[in-house]
Amino acid sequence: MKITQSQQSNNTMISIDNSTFTVPNHWFWPQFAGGWEPQTLNFFKKYLDPNRDYLDLGGWVGPTAMIATECGAKHVTVVEPNPANFYNLLLTQFNNNLLNRWTLENACVSSDLGRAIIGPIERIGRKSSATNIRNPDQGGVEIISLRLSDLLDRDYSLIKIDIEGAESFIIKDMLQIAELDTVVWFSIHPPFLSNIPEFVKDIKNITDEFWVVDDENQVMELDTLISRIESDEEKPSWGTKYGNFFEVGLLPKKFFDQNGDRKE
């Protein structure tokens, strides 16, 4: 998948293979066009079904939503809590005539349906995803809080979850996905998890229903996954330049075999 970008005075033109998107200028776009996350591109190209929908939890400023659109997703639903990022997504939706192909939700995903505080404000102002639910006394923005079950109302072939530590709030609910013939591209942020032993316990439970695959789409042993989550290395080899943050794919065992191929 070839990605290029051309910055203008007010907008940036992003080309992804055969699609071109007009997006608001953002510091990230040169990185996006500079060989960004080939493992994510490979996973999307292999598992996104153009006859079905795509769900993006933690859409940020839209890179994976645009990738899914280029891959032919029938419909794209993006959930993004940060109002600054959400504004960027709205502009992208309008500028590219995507009103009938994208549904945007300015909300966070958590264990409860209602309202939540995200922040702090200074992170939101810098357009961080800032998805962690914070204590209201720390200062933040009140937004809608949705449960994962509230969003599983379409025929998704692929769900991307990148919610900066809030994955601990929804990990138990992910067992619902195992019944839906839906794969998950799951970002894990151990430094942001408040209770790693509890998260590890929940990971063990969901691996009864999912194959876990690494960035090369190879099945990862549970012991390897747990050791990465529990690692105290600040910048391990499997992480990013920012720390111990990494992605894994989750393939429902009911629908996929150990080689990552769909069962007949």
Residues with Cβ within 8 Å of residue 72, at least 6 apart in sequence: 48, 50
Q: Peptide bond before 24: cis, by omega within 30 degrees of 0?
A: no
- From 2, 71, 68, select the one nearest 33 (Cα to Cα): 2
Instruction: Answer yes or no: are the C-beta atoms of 157 and 47 closer than 8 Å.
Output: yes
- From 222, 221, 217, 227, select the one nearest 247 (Cα to Cα): 217
Domains of the chain (ranges, CATH numbers) = 37-107+148-252 (3.40.50.150)
pTM recorded for the entire structure: 0.94
- At 159 the three-state DSSP class reads strand
Residues of the chain with pLDDT under 50: 131
CA 197 to chain centre: 23
Instruction: Answer yes or no: are the C-beta atoms of 258 and 189 closer than 8 Å.
Output: no
- From 191, 204, 198, 263, select the one nearest 234 (Cα to Cα): 191
**pLDDT at residue number 124:** 67
